[in-house]
Structure 1
Amino acid sequence: MSEQAIALDLDDTGMAASLPRPPHARDEVQSVPYRPVQFRDDDLPTALERSAAWLRSAQQWLGEPLDVIAVHLDYDDRAGRPYYEVKLLCNEEDLAGAPIAVRARQSHSSAD
């Protein structure tokens, strides 16, 4: 059995160029192991809602459940600077679009 390379359309950070990005300015996909996708707000329900909305759009884009390895919650309750930070630790291959590329290659192979 031979392994064939799968071409991925990645941006400079190694994520799929077409991956939905969190739309809010305080949210981001970070460049560390397990690709934390961060949602930060001074209101916890709002941060959770934005993380859930992004997760739904990313799963729709991926065409299957996104592999979320862990959910991390952090907060700072100091006066004048309160915030909540929700991080979804996601599988890097999912965020790079590998399952999409594998399905495309399989459908191309079966069409031949």
Structure 2
Amino acid sequence: MGYLKVTKHFGLPKRSLELYVKKDANPEVLVKVHMGRAPALPDHLEAELEKYCKELDQQFYGLRLKDIKHMAFRFAIKNYLKHLFSLTKECAGKKWLRGFMSRHPDLSVRTL
């Protein structure tokens, strides 16, 4: 299969595929490569944040989206993580929140 056919079939950028093939890397390694920006919070911290949100929900303390963004910021600061969250607002952004909620669809939030 040529580059063009592979990129159309799998929805990959052609130039990225060419660069990885030129590296002569093992195909198993190429499959595990994650493209794009690294997540602000590692998986284990996101799981901890999700667990904490569920604990608060069980105690009948409904969380708003704004509360989750502030907690994510505090998690990043507490764990000395390099992040792109807003230092003036002291919270995570809308894009991070949208991704977090899509990765954890079983979370429910307060709307008021």
TM-score of Structure 1 vs Structure 2, range by shorter chain = under 0.3
Which has the bigger relative contact order, CA under 8 A and spacing at least 6? 1
Structure 1 or 2: more strand by fraction: 1
Which structure has the bigger radius of gyration?
Answer: 2
If the length of structure 2 is used for normalisation, what is the TM-score? 0.24
Q: Hey, which of these two has a bigger chunk of helix by percent? A: 2
